Structure 1
Amino acid sequence: MNTMGNGFELLLADDDQDDCLFFEEALLELSVSAGLTTVNNGEALLKLLSENNRKLPNALFLDLNMPRKNGADCLVEIRQCNNLKELPIIIYSTSYNPEIANMLFEQGANYYIRKPKTFSNLKKVILRAIELVKGEHNRPPTKDLFLIQP
C-alpha cells in the first residue's frame, strides 16, 4: 500500500505497478489537491475498506482484473456493506465491453474509465472523474455519464 497527500482522498486498486505509477504521476500533474492510496489486490482492498478506524476515501478507482479477488467481485461486496454504499466507485480497466459495463452499472459502479493509451488522456479522465465525484453530492449515478472518455 502506498499513501500520499491529504484532503480529497482517492483509493486506487490495481495490481499493475506501472499503471499505479502513471496514475500517481498524472494526479501529481493535475491542478487538484488529492491524496492517493494504492492497493494491489481485491483482498487488500476489502481489508482496507473494512478497517473501522480508517476514514473512507472520496472515491475508489477499481481495476477489474486483479489477483485474489477481481474488481467485479469487490464491487458486489462493497455495495453490500451499509457504510460503503455511498462510496463513489470508478471502474478503471484496460478493456471495455458494453455488456460488462452495463452489468457493473447495475451492480452499483458510478463511472467507467477505459485506461487511456496516452499520459495526457490519463490526466483528462482522472480530472473528469474527480470533477464528477465532487459534483455528485450523493446523487445516484446516471447511465449517460457512466463512461468517462478523454
Structure 2
Amino acid sequence: MNLHLLLADDDIDDCDFFKEAIDEIGQLTLSILNDGVELMNFLLAEPANRPNLIFLDLNMPKKSGMECMEEIKSINKLKDIPIIIYSTSLDRTVVNHLYEMGAHHYIQKPGEFSNIKKVVEKAISLFTSTNSQLRSKEQFIIYP
C-alpha cells in the first residue's frame, strides 16, 4: 500500500530526519511543507494531491499547527484526513485539547533517529490496520 504522507514542520533538521525514516520504511510518498499557510494552500489546491495522513507540527510560522488543525476540521473536503500531531512539547492540557479537536494521534518528537522511525512506523501501522475514523484516548499518544 503506497500511502501519501504529508509533514508540515518548519524545522529543517526534523524534516530531514523524518524524510530519512520514511525512506528507510519504503513504499511511502512524502510531501514536506514548512509553514501553515503552505499547508493550507497545498490541501486546498489539488484534490489529487491530498495526503492519506498528515503529520503536523504545532509551532510553525505564519499559521500554527493548532490554527491549521481548526481550519482543516472545519472544511468538509478536508476534515476526514487523519492528523497526527508531531511536536516537541508534551503539554497534557494541549494534548487533551487536540484530542477534543479531532487529532488522531500525538507524537512527541523523539531525540534519536531510531525512535523517529519507530513512532512513524507505529503511526502508519495504526492508520492502516484500523478504521482511521476510530480514535482512542488511551492510544492517542504514540510512544517509541
Aligned partners of 1:38 and 1:109: how far apart in 2? 19
**Which string of whole-angstrom CA distances, capped at 9 and with x for unpartnered residues, describes residues 92-144 of structure 1?**
00110011000000001000000001011110000000011112334331101
% identity of equivalent residues: 47
User: Is 2:55 aligned against 1:61?
Assistant: yes
The 1:53/1:107 distance shift into structure 2, 3 A limit, reads closer
User: Is 2:89 aligned against 1:95?
Assistant: yes
Residue 119 of structure 1 corresponds to: 113
Residue 14 of structure 1 corresponds to: 9
Q: Deviation at 1:27?
A: 1.1
Q: Pairwise mapping of residues 1-150 of structure 1 onto structure 2 (< 5 A)?
A: 7-30=2-25, 32-150=26-144
The 3-state SS of whatever aligns with 2:102 is: coil
RMSD: 1.3
Matched to 1:121, the amino acid is N
**Which string of whole-angstrom CA distances, capped at 9 and with x for unpartnered residues, describes residues 15-45 of structure 1?**
0011000000011112x41010000000000
The 1:48/1:133 distance shift into structure 2, 3 A limit, reads same
Paired residues, number: 144
Aligned partners of 1:136 and 1:13: how far apart in 2? 24
Q: Deviation at 1:53?
A: 4.1
The 3-state SS of whatever aligns with 1:38 is: strand
The 3-state SS of whatever aligns with 2:111 is: coil
Bigger Cα displacement from structure 2, 6-15 vs 99-108: 6-15
The 3-state SS of whatever aligns with 1:44 is: helix
Aligned partners of 1:46 and 1:75: how far apart in 2? 10
Residue 3 of structure 1 corresponds to: none
